[in-house]
């Protein structure tokens, strides 16, 4: 069986995946502890310290809650501007086929580094840092059949 999907990845899709990975790791735990400590400092000391110290406490409260997530989103928005919009991903028993701009790249199943099924999306990694995202919206009604298909194909790798 062949599957074909038009890749329509948004900066928000990439942001969601990054945030999920960050906050399911030790880095995320450190972020939460730091933010909790900054809110505790704000609760105890705000209004009792000098303006510079007040600004630093407020900056600490905003760093992992507003500033970092916004920066990550803006980075992905900039990166996705360079990615072709006409990308189509095809899948069959031989592997994954990436078609864009009249060119095609074939990636056999055994060459895929890993496949991550996440809430709302499937990420097919071609190496440790690069992957192709298919959102549930892209897959539509074919999602469950497609997941069964890729599970079958990667089981044999």
Count of domains observed in the chain: 2
pLDDT computed for residue 7 by the predictor? 86
pLDDT per residue as tens digits for the range 72-130 = 999 999 999 888 888 999 999 999 999 998 899 999 999 999 999 999 999 999 988 88
Average pLDDT of the residues in 42-69: 94
Q: Do residues 75 and 91 both lie within one domain?
A: no
Contact status, residue 83 vs residue 60, Cβ threshold 8 Å: no
Tell whether 76 and 138 lie within a shared domain. Answer: no
**Domain membership of residue 96 as a residue range:** 3-8+83-155
Q: Are residues 97 and 140 in the same domain?
A: yes
Other beta carbons within 10 Å of 76? 19
Is 120 found in the same domain as 93?
yes
Say which CATH number the domain at 92 has.
2.30.29.30
Residue 20 CA to residue 9 CA, distance in Å, equals 17
Which of 31, 53, 80 represents a domain boundary (last residue)? 80
pTM greater than 0.85: no
């Amino acid at each position: 069986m062949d599957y074909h999907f038009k890749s329509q990845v948004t900066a928000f899709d990439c942001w969601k995946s990054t945030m999920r990975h960050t906050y399911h790791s030790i880095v995320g735990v450190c972020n939460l502890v730091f933010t909790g400590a900054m809110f505790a400092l704000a609760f105890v000391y705000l209004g009792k310290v000098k303006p510079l110290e007040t600004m630093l406490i407020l900056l600490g409260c905003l760093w992992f809650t507003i500033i970092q997530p916004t920066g990550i989103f803006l980075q992905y928005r900039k990166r996705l501007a360079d990615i072709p919009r006409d990308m189509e991903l095809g899948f069959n028993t031989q592997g994954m086929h990436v078609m864009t701009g009249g060119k095609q790249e074939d990636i056999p199943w055994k060459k895929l580094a890993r496949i991550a099924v996440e809430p709302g999306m499937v990420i097919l990694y071609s190496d440790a840092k690069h992957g192709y995202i298919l959102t549930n919206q892209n897959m539509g009604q074919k999602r469950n059949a497609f997941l069964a298909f890729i599970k079958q194909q990667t089981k044999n790798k």
